[in-house]
Amino acid sequence: MPFGLLNAPFCFSKFILRCCKDAKKYCVPYLDDVAIFSDTWETHMEHLDKILEKIAGAKLKIKPIKCKFAQDSVKYLGHKVGGGCRTPAEAKIQAVLDFPAPRSKTEIRKILGMIAYYSRYIENYATLVEPLTRALKGKTRKESITWTSEMEEALITVKQKLTEKPVLYAPNFEKEFIVQMDASDLGIGVVLAQRPNGEEHPILYLSRKFSGPEKNYSTTEKECAAIIFAIKKLRYYLDGQKFIIETDHNPLVWLKTNAGNNPRLMRWALALQPFNYTIVHKPGKNIAHADCLSRM
């Protein structure tokens, strides 16, 4: 397929997906990158044979020099993946670290675009970069900006978070999910995790700030808004699964059986009815990740 055609990526991607449509459980294609994963060596060889047969059947060719076989971890789409974990690729992190302090709105958008790809690795991402996103607001079309110490501190903090080599674990849909959340006057913090063998494994982090009207919510409404935000964002993980919601706000324990006469809480309680969940109260010190995400 020739380069430069407008529909070339779409057509080629659709073609590769059609070739691997019967191998979704162990093969993830993305354009001309195909990742094959297995639990055992014997199974991996079977999976590899099947994919190679599909490639040959589609009259496609591969370059051995560009392939990697029998790897315990691989770099894939900017991530290092393997052993049930994923971390940001070191080369991508270095590109962020080497990016100089922005001097224009265009440069701010560039650095935010680079960092946002890894936002699920960073606790409290939304509020950490708030000084940078604030510089992009306003009706003025002026391209130049005044680089402040607050912006510098925000950029340094985010870069430091990435250099800590954060690790996220792959979800196991045969295990119970745990959704931890907390709300403060500033916003919402959410952590999706699992506890195999009693050890907590974070799967991803989410956070956002409250809008103007949301800041006027009562404490219970803010905490319930955190649940609604988490369920909407994590629907593809939680739909059809039994999961636990951990909150430090004890009144929400009764949300499933008694939402009271508050119209907003009643509406949210109805929105949660399709899900199979249990709300458990835990002190804020025991869900420190979510508490921190909402307050920083």
**What pLDDT score does 140 carry?**
60
Q: What is the mean pLDDT of residues 94-112?
A: 88
Dihedral, CA atoms, 199, 204, 210, 214, nearest 10 degrees? -70
235 within 8 A of 177, measured Cβ to Cβ? no
Q: Which has the closest alpha carbon to 129: 157, 94, 110?
A: 157
Contacts of 207 (CB under 8 A, 6+ apart): 123, 124, 125, 126, 127, 187, 188, 189, 190, 293, 294
Tell me the pLDDT tens digit for each residue of 207-220.
888 888 988 999 88
Tell me the pLDDT tens digit for each residue of 268-296.
888 889 999 999 988 765 565 555 555 54
Compare 262 and 292 and report the one with higher pLDDT. 262
Q: What is the mean pLDDT of residues 46-52?
A: 93
Cα separation, 285 vs 287, in Å, equals: 6
- What pTM does this model have? 0.73
Q: Which has the closest alpha carbon to 294: 151, 166, 181?
A: 181
**What pLDDT score does 287 carry?**
60
pLDDT at position 232 over 90: yes
Helix (H, G, I), strand (E, B) or coil at 117: coil
**What pLDDT score does 197 carry?**
81
Structural domains of the chain sorted by starting position, each given as residue range(s) with its CATH number in brackets: 7-70 (no CATH), 88-164 (3.30.70.270), 171-286 (3.30.420.10)
Alpha helices in 99-217 (DSSP H): 105-116, 125-128, 130-134, 149-163
Go through the chain and tell me how many residues it has.
296
Percent of the chain residues past pLDDT 70, beyond the cut:
93
